[in-house]
Chains A and B, each alone.
Chain A
Amino acid sequence: MKTSDKQPAAQQPYKSWKELPHVPVSYPQLGSIGATGEWRTFKPEINAEACNKCGMCYLYCPDGVISYKEGTLPEIDYMFCKGCGICASICPKKAIEMVKEKE
Chain B
Amino acid sequence: MMKTEQEKENILIMSGNYAAAWGAKCSNVNVISAYPITPQTTVVEKLSDFVDNKELDAKYIRVESEHSVMAALVGSSMTGARSFSATSGQGLLYMAEMLHWVSSSRLPIVTTIASRGIAPPWNIWADYTDILSIRDCGWIIQFASTHQEIFDSILMAYKIAENPEVSLPYFVVYSGFSQSHTSKPVSIPEQQRINKFLPILPEDGWGHLNLNPDKPVTFGNLVMPEQEYLDFRFMIHDSMVKSKKNIHDTINLFNQSFGRDYGGLVEKYMCDDAEVILISYGGLAEQSKDAVDKLRDQGNKVGLFKLRYIRPFPNEELIELFNSGIKVIGVVDQGTAFGNPTGGPISTEVMSLLNHTKNRIDVLPCIWGIGGRNVSVDDQIGLFEKLLYIKNNNEYPTDETCQHGTVWMGLKTGI
CA distance A21 to B165 in the complex (A): 11
Q: Does A25 contact B (CB under 8 A)?
A: yes
- Interface 1/0 per residue, A26-52 and B, CB below 8 Å: 111000000000000000000000000
Q: Is the CB of B208 within 8 A of A22?
A: yes
Interface contacts beyond A23-B106, A27-B218, A28-B217: sample of 17 additional A-B pairs, CB < 8 Å, sorted by A: A1-B216, A14-B228, A14-B231, A17-B228, A17-B234, A17-B238, A20-B228, A20-B232, A20-B235, A21-B208, A22-B167, A24-B219, A24-B221, A24-B228, A24-B232, A26-B217, A28-B218
Q: Does B87 contact A (CB under 8 A)?
A: no
Contact with B217, one of A17, A22, A25 (Cβ below 8 angstroms):
A25
Which 3 residue pairs are nearest across A and B when measured between Cβ atoms?
A22-B208, A17-B231, A22-B106
- Chain B residues with CB under 8 A of A23: 104-106, 208-209, 219, 232
Q: Does A64 contact B (CB under 8 A)?
A: yes
Beta-carbon contacts under 8 Å, B191-231 to A: 208-209, 214, 216-219, 221, 223, 227-228, 231
CA distance A27 to B214 in the complex (A): 12
Main secondary structure of the interface of A (DSSP, over half): loop
- Chain B residues with CB under 8 A of A25: 208-209, 217-219
User: How many whole Å from A55's CB to the nearest CB in chain B?
Assistant: 13
Residue of B106, B214, B219, B228 with highest tally of chain A CB at under 10 A:
B228
Residue of A21, A22, A24, A27 with highest tally of chain B CB at under 10 A:
A22
Residue of B106, B214, B232, B234 with highest tally of chain A CB at under 10 A:
B232
Contact surface of A with B, Cβ cutoff 8 Å: 1, 13-14, 17, 20-28, 64
User: How many whole Å from B211's CB to the nearest CB in chain A?
Assistant: 10
CA distance A103 to B62 in the complex (A): 50
Closest to A28 in B: B216
- Chain A residues with CB under 8 A of B234: 17
- Chain B residues with CB under 8 A of A20: 228, 231-232, 235
- Chain B residues with CB under 8 A of A1: 214, 216
CA distance A64 to B217 in the complex (A): 12
- Chain A residues with CB under 8 A of B232: 20, 23-24
User: How many whole Å from A93's CB to the nearest CB in chain B?
Assistant: 24
CA distance A21 to B104 in the complex (A): 12
CA distance A28 to B214 in the complex (A): 12
- Chain B residues with CB under 8 A of A13: 227
User: How many whole Å from A4's CB to the nearest CB in chain B?
Assistant: 13
- Interface 1/0 per residue, B99-137 and A, CB below 8 Å: 000001110000000000000000000000000000000
User: How many whole Å from A53's CB to the nearest CB in chain B?
Assistant: 19
Closest to B210 in A: A25
- Chain B residues with CB under 8 A of A21: 208
User: How many whole Å from A37's CB to the nearest CB in chain B?
Assistant: 19
CA distance A90 to B228 in the complex (A): 39
- Chain B residues with CB under 8 A of A26: 217-219, 221
- Chain A residues with CB under 8 A of B221: 24, 26
- Chain A residues with CB under 8 A of B217: 25-28
CA distance A22 to B218 in the complex (A): 14
Closest to A64 in B: B216
User: How many whole Å from B260's CB to the nearest CB in chain A?
Assistant: 31
- Chain A residues with CB under 8 A of B105: 23
CA distance A21 to B221 in the complex (A): 15
Q: List 28 A-B contacts (CB under 8 A).
A: A1-B214, A1-B216, A13-B227, A17-B228, A17-B231, A20-B231, A20-B232, A21-B208, A22-B106, A22-B208, A23-B106, A23-B208, A23-B209, A23-B219, A23-B232, A24-B219, A24-B221, A24-B223, A24-B228, A24-B232, A25-B208, A25-B218, A25-B219, A26-B217, A27-B216, A27-B218, A28-B217, A28-B218
- Interface 1/0 per residue, B20-31 and A, CB below 8 Å: 000000000000
Q: Is the CB of A22 within 8 A of B209?
A: yes
CA distance A13 to B223 in the complex (A): 12
User: How many whole Å from B101's CB to the nearest CB in chain A?
Assistant: 11
CA distance A64 to B219 in the complex (A): 15
- Chain A residues with CB under 8 A of B231: 14, 17, 20
- Chain B residues with CB under 8 A of A24: 219, 221, 223, 228, 232
CA distance A24 to B106 in the complex (A): 11
User: How many whole Å from A50's CB to the nearest CB in chain B?
Assistant: 27
Closest to A21 in B: B208
